[in-house]
Structure 1
Amino acid sequence: MDNNIIIKYLQGTASEAEIETFFQWLDESEKHRNEFIELKKIWALTSKFENKEGVSWSDIQPEFSKPVKKRFLYSFIKNAAVFILLIGIGAIAQYFFFGEKDEHVYARSFAVTAPAGQMTNIELPDGTLVMLNSGTSLQYNSEFSSGKREVYLEGEAFFDVQKDVEHPFTVKSDYLGVRVYGTSFNIQAYPEDREFTATLIEGSIGLLDKNGYELSKLEPGEKAFFNDSTASIEIRKVDTEMYTSWKDGLVTFRNEKMDYIAKQIERWYNVEIIIQKEGLCDERYFGTILKNKPIDQILDVLKLTTSLEYEIVPRANKPTLIYWK
C-alpha cells in the first residue's frame, strides 16, 4: 500500500480512486485492519504536535514492504445494468470489523440499482437472491458480511433469503420494515407512491415500524398493504402470483386505474406519460401485460378495453414522451 494514500485518506484529501484502493487493501486481511487502527492512532497524536519540536507524520509512519493485491469488492454482479456505487464512509464507536475495538469503525455502503426500463438480479454476500424491478435501488453496508444482514429498499424487489437463525435478515424502507425468518417474499416501496406492500410466498416475515417494533406477522399467501396517508395496515389473502409475476415478465392488473398503470409503464420503459384526456385517469383496466413487448404493443392492448388513444414523441437525451389522449 502506498503510504501517501493512507495519509491522504486520513487528511480527507484522497480521490475516489484512492479511497477505493485503500478500502480494497483494508478488506484483504485482519492484519491490515489492525495496522490501520494503529496508524490512525499515531496520526491523531502527531497531528496535535505538528510543527512542534520537528515531529511529523513522515517521521514515525511504519513501512509496508509488500505490495497489495487488488481484488473486486464482491462477485455478485449478474447483470450489466447493475451499478455499484460507493455512497458513504461513516464512523461510529463500536468494535472494528471482527471484534478489534477502536475509537471508530469505517464502513462502506453499497447501492445496487435497476434503472428505469430494466430489471436486475443480484446475489448478496450471504447467498440471498434478490431481483430488482425497474427503478429500484437496494443498499447495504460492509457490516452485512459480518452478520448484520440489513438492507434498505427503494422500489420493488423479490427476495429469496438465505436462512440464518443467528443473523436475522431485515429489509427497511421509508415507511415499514420487514424482519425475515428465512423465506421468499415480494416488497413494493417506491417512496413517491407513499405506499408499502409485502406479499409472502413462503416462510414467515414480521412487519416492523420505523423503530424496529414488530407490528404483525404474515402467513404464506398473505399481502400487507400500508398507505402513508392513513397510516393503517391491511392484511388479506391474495393470489401471490399476481404480485410476483413481474419477475417473469408478466404483470396482471385487477381493476386498476389508468393513472396507476401509467406510473408502472413509466418505470418499466423509462418513458414519461402525460394524460391529457379528461376522465381517463379514473378508467380501469383488467388484464395481463407482457413486459418484454414493445411499448406501442402494450398501449394497443390497453386500447382494446379503454378509451385510450396515444401519441409517442421521441426526445434526444430524455425519456420518450407519450401523450394519452
Structure 2
Amino acid sequence: MGKFFLDDTFLARWVSGDLSAEELEAFKKSSDYNKFNKINEAAEKLKAPTYNKQDVFSKLQERLEVEKANKKTEKHIMPKWVYGAAAILVIVFGIFYFLNLKSHYKTGFGEQLAITLPDNSKVQLNANSQVDFNSKLWSNNREVKLVGEAFFDVEKGSTFKVCTDIGVVEVLGTEFNVIARPNFFEIQCYEGRVKVKGIDVNEAAVLTEGKAFRIVNGTIEEWTFSNKNASWLLGESTFTNTPLFQVIKTFENQFNVTFNASKIDINQKFTGGFTHKNLKLALTTVFETMNISYVIKDKNKIMLVNKGH
C-alpha cells in the first residue's frame, strides 16, 4: 500500500471511480486491496452523520503531513495508525462523493445548453443560467437547483422538484418553464400538472396546461397563455405584463450588454417580445413601443431615457 499512499488523493479517486485502468489494476493486485474494498462497501451502506467535513479533512491532512515527514527518516516503516487513518479517509470521502457529489451545468451570455438527467428527463438551459443536482442519489431524490431560466421535460416517476431561492416547483411528469432571478419567479406549464409554492409567500398554486404563475417582489400574479412552447427555444423572448427590469435582464443575458436605466421606471410593465438575432431590432421593438429612447455606447453599454427628456 506504501506506493499508493504516497498520493494523498489516491483513495478518494478510487472511491469516486477516477483511477486510471493501470492504477486500478495495480491496486487490485496489492495485498491491501481486499481490506480497503471491504471498508468502502461498508461505507456505502452508512447514513451520512452530522460532522464538520472541513475539520475532518484538516485533521487528516495534518496527520498525512506528519507521515510524509517521517518517511524521510523511516522509509521502510509503515506506522499502524496509517491504516486506521486510511480507513477513515475512505469512509469520509465515500460519504462525501456518494452523498454530496453535485453535477453542475452553467451557460454564458447568449448560450443555451441541453442536459439529460439520469432518468432521461430533459433540461434546456437558457442564457446565463445554471442547474445543480446530485446524480448519485437521483433515483431517490429527483431534485435540481436552478438559478436563471430553464425548460423542463420531465419523465414520469417520483416527485420531481425544481428548487430556487424564491420558490419550489413540484411535478410528477410534465413540461414547464421556470425563471428564477432576483425578485422574480415565473412558471409556465405546457403539459400535465405543476405545483408551485413560494418560499417567503405563504401561498401555493396548482398549474395545468396553459396556466402561468409569477412572484414579483413578493406579489403573486396568475394568467393563461396559448403558445405551445417556450418562445426562447425558438430564438425569441416574449413577455406578458412583465416588469421592465426583467425584460432588461433578459436583454443582458442574451446579448451580453449592460443598461443604464436610472432615468426610467423599471417597474412599468411590458407585453411583447424581441428577437435574439439582432440587438438593434430587439431594442427598437421593445423600447419604441414604451416611448423610451436608447443610445448604444462602447458597443455593449446602453443608456435608456424617456422620450422628451
Same fold by TM-score greater than 0.5: yes
Cα 1:38–1:262, aligned 2, differ >3 Å: closer, same or farther? same
Cα 1:258–1:208, aligned 2, differ >3 Å: closer, same or farther? closer
Cα 1:303–1:34, aligned 2, differ >3 Å: closer, same or farther? farther
Q: 1:8 maps to which residue?
A: 8
TM alignment of 1:190-229, pairs within 5 A: 190=181, 192=182, 194-208=183-197, 215-229=204-218
Deviation at 1:144, TM superposition (A): 4.0
Deviation at 1:35, TM superposition (A): 4.2
Cα 1:221–1:256, aligned 2, differ >3 Å: closer, same or farther? closer
Q: Does 1:57 align with 2:85?
A: no
Q: Does 1:314 align with 2:298?
A: yes
**3-state SS in 1 of match to 2:120:** coil
Q: Does 1:171 align with 2:162?
A: yes
Question: 1:108-134 CA deviation, whole Å, 9 max, x = no partner?
Answer: 112111212212111112101111111
Deviation at 1:214, TM superposition (A): 9.4
**Unaligned runs of at least 5 residues, structure 2:** 44-59, 71-76
Deviation at 1:36, TM superposition (A): 5.3
Asked if 2 retains the 8 angstrom alpha-carbon contact of 1:203 and 1:219, the reply is yes
Q: 2:256 maps to which residue?
A: 270
Moved >6 Å (runs of 4+): 31-34, 39-42, 50-53, 58-62
Q: 2:281 maps to which residue?
A: 297
Cα 1:295–1:34, aligned 2, differ >3 Å: closer, same or farther? farther
Q: Sequence identity of aligned pairs in percent?
A: 25
How many correspondences in the alignment?
265
Q: Distance in 2 between matches of 1:6 and 1:249?
A: 53
TM-score of the superposition, structure 1-length normalised?
0.64
**Unaligned runs of at least 5 residues, structure 1:** 63-89, 97-101
Counterpart residue type for residue 250 of structure 1? E
Q: Distance in 2 between matches of 1:287 and 1:60?
A: 63
**3-state SS in 2 of match to 1:24:** coil
Asked if 2 retains the 8 angstrom alpha-carbon contact of 1:187 and 1:196, the reply is yes
Deviation at 1:197, TM superposition (A): 1.7
TM-score of the superposition, structure 2-length normalised?
0.67
Cα 1:135–1:242, aligned 2, differ >3 Å: closer, same or farther? farther
Cα 1:248–1:308, aligned 2, differ >3 Å: closer, same or farther? same
Which region of structure 1 is more displaced relative to structure 2, 174-183 or 136-145?
Answer: 136-145
Counterpart residue type for residue 82 of structure 2? W
Deviation at 1:61, TM superposition (A): 7.6
Counterpart residue type for residue 288 of structure 1? G
After superposition, the CA RMSD in angstroms is 4.6
Q: 2:56 maps to which residue?
A: none
Q: Distance in 2 between matches of 1:33 and 1:224?
A: 56
Asked if 1 retains the 8 angstrom alpha-carbon contact of 2:115 and 2:123, the reply is yes
Cα 1:117–1:217, aligned 2, differ >3 Å: closer, same or farther? same
Cα 1:2–1:135, aligned 2, differ >3 Å: closer, same or farther? farther
Q: 2:105 maps to which residue?
A: 112
Counterpart residue type for residue 244 of structure 1? A
**3-state SS in 1 of match to 2:145:** strand
Cα 1:294–1:237, aligned 2, differ >3 Å: closer, same or farther? closer
